[in-house]
Structure 1
Amino acid sequence: MQAVGTSRSLTLADVTIRLEGRMLLSISATVMPGEVLTVMGPSGSGKSTLLAFAGGFLDPAFDVSGRILIGDRDLTEIAANRRHAGILFQDPLLFPHLSVGGNIVFAIPAAVKGHKKRRELAEEALEQVGLAGFFDRDPETLSGGQKARVALQRVLVSTPEFLLLDEPFSKLDAALRQQMRELVFSKAKAAGLPTILVTHDGADAAAAGGRLIEVGTEEKA
Structure 2
Amino acid sequence: MQEQNGYRAMILDQVRIHLESRRLIDLSLTVDPGEIVTVMGPSGSGKSTLLAYLSGFLDPAFRASGRLMLCGQDVTALPAQQRRIGILFQDPLLFPHLSVGGNLAFGLSPSVKGREMRKAAIRQALDAINMAGFEGRDPATLSGGQKARVALARTLLSQPRALLLDEPFSKLDADLRQHMRQHVFGRARAQGLPTLLVTHDEEDAKAAGGPIIRLAVQG
What is the distance in 1 between the residues matched to 2:43 and 2:123? 38
Question: What amino acid does structure 2 have at the position aligned with 1:154?
Answer: R
1:196 match: secondary structure: strand
What is the distance in 1 between the residues matched to 2:81 and 2:209? 29
Aligned length: 213
Residue by residue, what CA displacement relative to the aligned partner does 1:11-35 show, whole Å, maximum 9, x if unpaired? 0111112223112121110011000
Equivalent residue for 1:202? 202
Equivalent residue for 1:103? 103
What is the distance in 2 between the residues matched to 1:176 and 1:102? 25
In structure 1, stretches of 5+ residues that fail to align are: 1-6
What is the distance in 2 between the residues matched to 1:53 and 1:172? 27
Runs of at least 4 residues of structure 1 off by over 4 A? Answer: none
Question: What amino acid does structure 2 have at the position aligned with 1:176?
Answer: L
What is the distance in 2 between the residues matched to 1:20 and 1:171? 33
**RCO greater where, 1 or 2, for CA within 8 Å and sep 6 or more?**
1
Map 1:44-123; keep pairs closer than 5 Å: 44-123=44-123
Question: Between the two proteins, what is the percent identity of the paired residues?
Answer: 60
Question: What amino acid does structure 1 have at the position aligned with 2:155?
Answer: V
Moved more, 19-28 or 127-136: 19-28
The CA deviation at 1:72 is 2.2
1:68 match: secondary structure: strand
Is 2:22 the counterpart of 1:43?
Answer: no
2:8 match: secondary structure: coil
Question: What amino acid does structure 2 have at the position aligned with 1:74?
Answer: D
1:200 match: secondary structure: coil
1:104 match: secondary structure: helix
The CA deviation at 1:133 is 1.1
What is the distance in 2 between the residues matched to 1:180 and 1:19? 35
1:25–1:216: 8 Å Cα contact kept in structure 2? no
Question: What amino acid does structure 2 have at the position aligned with 1:111?
Answer: S
